[in-house]
Structure 1
């Protein structure tokens, strides 16, 4: 192979293989392509609103802002302050329903 000063060497054909994706990457790609990921996100939004999680998070945010002072809080601060509490506050029934839907998708997609 001949190299040029102005351009890099031309790769061999064997170098142009598609990158290998991990299983979670493949699942994510399939869920996006099928539209299942958006349906699951909508279901999650509905369930979190129904169980009062959304209002609980609003209350936590307001309390944090009141405690720290409105001018002293950034969005990053707020996210860092409530993320762990928010994840812990998601009801087990909502998590179980989403897990069931994901498992059903994987079976139907034969992954």
Structure 2
């Protein structure tokens, strides 16, 4: 089942890239996140982590691992729903073709 899901995701991702929809969705997501000042919140959180751990004692990979759960949690539900709706509309449109 996992392989089937991975295959479906890969196929969907390829179609999104091919159609240009993926880039449009990324731009919309960036715009919405800026409206909610998500980037500023994440920047401040990164600075706090670096201060706590000391710049000399943390790698970029460790920082990414540390901030990813917080970054996902800070995305407002309204944005998640909007992106999901956009993806669903894309899939319905593709079915009709």
Q: TM-score, normalised by structure 2?
A: 0.88
Q: Distance in 2 between matches of 1:91 and 1:72?
A: 32
Q: Distance in 1 between matches of 2:68 and 2:10?
A: 24
Residue 72 of structure 1 deviates from its aligned partner by: 1.4
- Unpaired segments ≥5 residues, structure 2: none
Q: Distance in 2 between matches of 1:57 and 1:32?
A: 27
User: How many residue pairs are counted as aligned between the two chains?
Assistant: 92
- Unpaired segments ≥5 residues, structure 1: 1-19
The answer on 1:42 being equivalent to 2:18 is no
The answer on 1:24 being equivalent to 2:22 is no
Deviation beyond 6 Å, 4+ runs, structure 1 = none
Q: Distance in 2 between matches of 1:40 and 1:78?
A: 26
Residue 90 of structure 1 deviates from its aligned partner by: 0.6
Q: TM-score, normalised by structure 1?
A: 0.77
- 1:68-90 per-residue CA deviation (whole Å, 9 max, x = no partner) reads 11211210111011111111111
- 1:14-70 per-residue CA deviation (whole Å, 9 max, x = no partner) reads xxxxxx983222211111100000100111111111101111100110000011112
User: Which structure: larger Rg?
Assistant: 1
